[in-house]
Amino acid sequence: MAKKERKDKPYKVPNPKRKHPLWAFLSLFMRIAAKKPEIINLAGEIEDKSIIVANHSAKSGPPALDIYFPKKAAKWGAHEMLGYWSQRKNYLRDILNIKKLKKKPGLWNSFKSGLVATLNPIPYKGMWMIPTYPDGRLIKTLRYSCEMLDKNIPIMVYPENSNDGYKTILTEFFPGFVMLAEKYYRANGIDLPIYPTYYHLKKRIMIIDKPMYVQDMVKEGLSREEIAQRFCDAVNRLYFEYIEKKDEKTDEETVQNEAEKAE
């Protein structure tokens, strides 16, 4: 007899007026682990009804973005991490640690995954995480997100394809956030501003670009996948222009200083 598939754990849309005290406490330690980055905000004030598309920056990106991004936003996260304990542990062990972070399997990995799975609900509730799905259940993600947008809460999405691990230069964006923008436009007539954002944890730099709009690209005749790729390119451009060039300039200055000392 086939094993009956477990139903999704019930999800309740976060109340933006209620703060999570334990996450507020834990975030103090996050500020020590992930020091405040230099924030280059090209967009100015972030609109309440908006979408932010950002790179994941390994596993520490979402908590750091929650703490330091100029406006509090609800965030999309893997549905397993908002599921039951066994689902969270299996996802951490098999997908995050082994597949994406290239950690070795074994008892230590399993133990750490179980421990994090136990503590995980605290930051996920505090960060207003919304479960995302790779199948037809994505419609629930879109519905939850629209409810948050109706409450004037932005939605932050990490749409990069990380099946082969997290990369500095992103290769592909999944188009779920494009579907959200389309859905909200159909329901409310609002073309949501979407802010490309790049965050580099080690170099402590966050760049927020001026907003782009899906309907502008729809008028160009672009498909969802092509629109998603344009946003992926926009996020990569932030890396090339504000991080890679900065590193090159620093290297040039170092060489010049050494040459001057040699003289």
pLDDT for residue 261 is more than 90: no
pLDDT for residue 1 is more than 50: no
Burial class (CB in 10 A: 0-12, 13-18, 19+), 59: middle
Q: Give pLDDT, residue 4.
A: 54
Mean pLDDT value across residues 82-107: 90
Q: How far is CA 213 from CA 10, 25, 85, 150, 234, in A?
A: 33, 37, 38, 18, 12
**Taking the CA atoms of the chain, what radius of gyration do you get in angstroms?**
20
Does 211 or 113 have the greater pLDDT score?
211
Please answer whether residues 157 and 170 qualify as being in contact, where contact means their C-beta atoms are separated by less than 8 angstroms. Answer: no
Does 156 or 83 have the greater pLDDT score?
156
Mean pLDDT value across residues 101-111: 90
Helices (DSSP H) in 52-104: which residue ranges? 61-68, 85-90
Number of other residues whose CB lies within 10 A of the CB of residue 151: 15
pLDDT bin (cut points 50, 70, 90) of residue 257 is low
d(CA 159, CA 60): 16
Q: How far is CA 179 from CA 79, 152, 227, in A?
A: 18, 19, 10
pLDDT for residue 62 is more than 80: yes
List, for residues 169-227, the tens digit of each pLDDT value: 999 999 999 999 999 999 999 999 999 999 998 899 999 999 999 999 999 999 999 99
For the chain, what percent of residues have pLDDT higher than 90?
60
Q: Give pLDDT, residue 260.
A: 46
Q: Give pLDDT, residue 101.
A: 87
Strands 193-200, 205-208: pairing kind: antiparallel
Mean pLDDT value across residues 110-119: 91
Please give the mean pLDDT across all residues of the chain.
88
Q: Give pLDDT, residue 255.
A: 42
Token pair belonging to 30? 């996050």
Q: Give pLDDT, residue 263.
A: 55
List, for residues 8-39, the tens digit of each pLDDT value: 888 888 887 777 777 777 787 778 777 889 99
Residue of 63, 57, 54, 82 whose CA lies nearest to 165: 57
Start-to-end C-alpha separation, the chain? 82
pLDDT for residue 106 is more than 60: yes
HSE-CB at 168 with a 13 A cutoff on CA atoms is 8
List, for residues 127-176, the tens digit of each pLDDT value: 999 999 989 999 999 999 999 999 999 999 999 998 888 899 999 999 99
